[in-house]
């Protein structure tokens, strides 16, 4: 005998999508990579996270890599899955749903999205001319975004801070191979959105063991040249291994 739930008529099989949050630091601002969203009917241009519905034959990681490549031309970016978003209110805005239906040629009822996160050196990430519609946008001044993309970005920033507390090495994904103490401190301040005491920060930095001073200094500066440092990944792994065995 087949038993049906009283709410069986309310069961909705949602579409699944993937959204990619690429965070980088441009100057003094934490930025996110956004792509253009054009309405074929009105010609109106807005911006969104790189994202799309997944294909039936691909898994989530494959979808994330494909979406990033199709919307920005980027490859070899390490993406980390960090959270899913499935509120029924994701499709509350009819304009967003209509745009997606026109783009996908599908009838959209409800969408669950899986969000991926990546850290990038803004100047190193070169967007091909073919994907010139992609741009870095300061998180402090985001435009109107579709669905719940602003919430996804906000959660990504929280995730970065948790991730950095757990794996301090990721801060160097935002920095060039050689960096000054000021650049390292400002990177922390931008990520955490708060000022840090200079003396305490230098004392902490010099105690880490894996932030290594070099003989090189800044050139052509109007003030006293600052020393460059580098990240020693081998030393970092040794220190982390010892901590994990305690």
pLDDT digits (tens, 9 = 90+) for 168-194: 999 998 899 999 999 999 999 999 999
Please tell me whether residues 103 and 49 are part of one structural domain: yes
CATH code for position 175: 1.10.10.10
Please tell me whether residues 21 and 133 are part of one structural domain: yes
pTM: 0.87
> Token match 């805005």: residue?
93
Q: What per-residue confidence (pLDDT) applies to 188? A: 95
Domain assignment of residue 4, yes or no: no
Domain assignment of residue 123, yes or no: yes
Phi and psi dihedrals of 67, rounded to 5?
-60, -45
* Positive/negative CA dihedral, 173, 189, 152, 163: positive
Mean pLDDT for 31-46 is 81
Which residues make Cβ contacts (< 8 Å) with residue 197, sequence separation at least 6?
A: none
Please tell me whether residues 172 and 161 are part of one structural domain: no
Tell me the residue ranges of DSSP E strands in 39-97. Answer: 45-48, 51-53, 80-85
On the question of pLDDT at 154 being above 90, the answer is yes
Percent of the chain exceeding pLDDT 70 equals 87
Please tell me whether residues 81 and 114 are part of one structural domain: yes
Please tell me whether residues 48 and 95 are part of one structural domain: yes
Q: Which of 149, 165, 181 is the last residue of a domain?
A: 165
DSSP codes of every residue in 6-53: TTGGG----EEEEEEEEEEEETTEEEEEEEEEE-TTT--EEEE-SEEE
Please tell me whether residues 208 and 132 are part of one structural domain: no
Please tell me whether residues 106 and 130 are part of one structural domain: yes
Please tell me whether residues 73 and 195 are part of one structural domain: no
Q: How far is CA 116 from CA 50, 79, 85, 162, 201, in A?
A: 10, 6, 11, 15, 31
Please tell me whether residues 18 and 129 are part of one structural domain: yes
Q: What per-residue confidence (pLDDT) applies to 13? A: 74
Please tell me whether residues 82 and 36 are part of one structural domain: yes
* Total number of domains constituting the chain: 2
Q: Which of 65, 59, 113, 69 is nearest to 91 (CA)?
A: 113
Q: What's the full length of the chain, in residues?
A: 246
Please tell me whether residues 201 and 90 are part of one structural domain: no
Please tell me whether residues 46 and 138 are part of one structural domain: yes
Q: Which of 102, 133, 165 is the last residue of a domain?
A: 165
**Domain span at residue 25?**
11-165
Q: Distance between CA atoms of 119 and 155, rounded to whole angstroms?
A: 14
Domain assignment of residue 6, yes or no: no
**199 band by pLDDT with thresholds 50, 70 and 90:** very high
Which residues make Cβ contacts (< 8 Å) with residue 214, sequence separation at least 6?
A: 178, 227, 228, 229, 230
CATH code for position 41: 3.90.79.10
């Amino acid at each position: 005998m087949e038993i049906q739930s009283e709410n069986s008529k309310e069961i909705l099989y949602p579409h699944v999508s993937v959204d990619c949050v690429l965070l980088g630091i441009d100057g003094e601002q934490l930025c996110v990579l956004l792509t253009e969203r054009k309405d074929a009917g009105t010609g109106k241009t807005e911006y969104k996270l790189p994202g799309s519905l997944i294909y039936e034959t691909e898994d989530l990681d494959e979808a994330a890599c494909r979406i990033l490549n199709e919307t920005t031309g980027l490859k070899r970016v390490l993406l980390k899955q960090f959270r899913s978003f499935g509120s029924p209110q994701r499709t509350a805005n009819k304009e967003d749903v209509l745009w997606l239906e026109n783009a996908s040629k599908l009838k959209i009822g409800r969408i669950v999205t899986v969000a991926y996160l990546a850290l990038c050196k803004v100047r190193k990430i070169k967007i091909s001319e073919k994907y010139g519609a992609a741009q870095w946008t300061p998180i402090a001044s985001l435009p109107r975004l579709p669905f719940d993309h602003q919430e996804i970005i906000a959660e990504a920033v929280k995730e970065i801070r948790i991730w950095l507390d757990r794996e301090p090495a990721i801060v160097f994904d935002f920095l060039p191979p050689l960096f000054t103490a000021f650049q390292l401190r400002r990177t922390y301040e931008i990520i955490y959105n708060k000022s840090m005491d200079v003396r305490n920060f230098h004392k902490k930095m010099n105690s880490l063991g894996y932030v290594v001073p070099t003989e090189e200094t800044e050139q052509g500066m109007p003030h006293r040249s600052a020393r460059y440092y580098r990240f020693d990944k081998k030393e970092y792994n040794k220190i982390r291994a010892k901590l994990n065995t305690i």
